[in-house]
Amino acid sequence: MMNSALNTLLSGRLLKALFVSLFAFAALPVFAQHSDHSAHVSSAKSKTGVLLLAHGGKAEWNDEVNNVAAEVGKQFPVEVAFGMATKRNIQDAVNKLEAQGVTSIVAVPLFVSSNSTVITSTEYLLGLRTDAPKDLAVFAKMDHGSGGHGEHSAHTNTSTEPFDPTTPISHKVPITMRKALDADPTVADILLSRAASISKDAGNEVIIIVAHGPVSAETNRLWLNDMAKIADRMKANSSYGGIEYLTVRDDAPEPIRSEATAEFRSIVEKANAQKARVLIVPLLLSFGGIEEGVKKRLDGLNYTITSQALLPDARISQWVVRSVEAHH
């Protein structure tokens, strides 16, 4: 009889405790349940590491790239490898990503064009192509020790073998590589914003998109094809009197550079003759002296040049995230 009463009492207490705990759980704020979900999503995403490839430069430029990385870092583990196919820095960044436990790495080149031997050389270093481009040896010679951008890379090579900057890196997780900016709609949209910042009367203005461009004529055609697509999108989304584009090919030998200068002056002279205002919009990630080159080339002509290149702009980090998330 006593056991029966005790059982009844205990079961009653248990039921009450269960009820109280259920009620307390139901009363938990909704956001607590959501935060668990978002943490799960975040950890699922964090399995992918992002290797952001960028041409190293002055401190201000490197800061801009690091700012892009910081934004991307809100969604993915990210490391920056500065340089022109600089193996030390790429290896160092991959090592750091693997140390964070990523299960795959997506390399995103923060470059204007995929049509470059820097890109093909990087693909080789990442094990994504079998043949080493000839220019890889040239880039390797530019990497004197730490290459100026790899202050932390001295620890990368722990073996006693000499470091060979022309062989593929070592990695434990699969690596894929996305395209550079090329003709992505983001580029046209940012260039239109830059033009708008100096525009006064769009219908009576001619935009000239100016890119650095490669040395080889064949590769230059590929750059111009992408620039044509960018110009078409800009035309479709604006009312400017005209949109022209060209590459200045600063690194090419004479007479190629002179031909580019003559073409550039000719477009500006024609617009000046028609009393149209000339807006020069450089297709560059950052200004690195092209303004001085433009001044020399267009001496004596009337034009207005934008004060800013593609960076800084939040749309660039959004493009990187989209590139990472794109399925191929």
The 10s digit of each residue's pLDDT in 214-230 is 999 999 999 999 999 99
Q: How many CB atoms lie within 10 A of CB 16?
A: 10
Q: How many CB atoms lie within 10 A of CB 218?
A: 8
**Segment 249-300, tens digit of pLDDT:** 988 999 999 999 999 999 999 999 999 999 999 999 998 777 788 889 999 9
Of 240, 135, 123, the C-alpha closest to 179 is 123
Q: Kindly provide the b/e burial profile for residues 126-151, where b requires at least 16 CB atoms within 10 angstroms of the residue's own CB.
A: beeeeebbeebeebbeebeebbebbe
Distance CA 195, CA 22 (A): 61
- Strands (E) across the chain are located at 48-54, 78-82, 104-109, 175-177, 205-211, 242-247, 277-283, 304-305
**Angle at CA 113, nearest 5°, toward 130 and 243?**
155
Domain(s) labelled CATH 3.40.50.1400 in the chain stretch across: 185-309
Q: Which CATH architecture has domain 46-181+315-325?
A: 3-Layer(aba) Sandwich (3.40)
Distance CA 237, CA 233 (A): 6
Distance CA 32, CA 74 (A): 20
Strand partners, 280: 208, 305
How large is the average pLDDT for residues 50-73? Answer: 95
Range of lowest pLDDT (35-49, 51-65, 175-189): 35-49
pLDDT of residue 173: 97
Of 221, 222, 220, the C-alpha closest to 212 is 220
Distance CA 264, CA 259 (A): 9
pLDDT of residue 318: 98
Distance CA 253, CA 274 (A): 33
- Name the pairing type of β-strands 205-211 and 277-283: parallel
The two most distant CA atoms of the chain are separated, in Å, by 113
Choosing among 3.40.50.1400, 2.60.120.260, 1.10.10.10, 3.40.1190.20, the CATH entry for 185-309 is 3.40.50.1400
The one-letter amino acid code at 267 reads: I
Distances (CA, A) of 322 to 108, 313, 325: 10, 15, 5
pLDDT of residue 16: 43
pLDDT of residue 295: 87
Residue with the bigger pLDDT between 137 and 43: it is 137
pLDDT of residue 18: 36
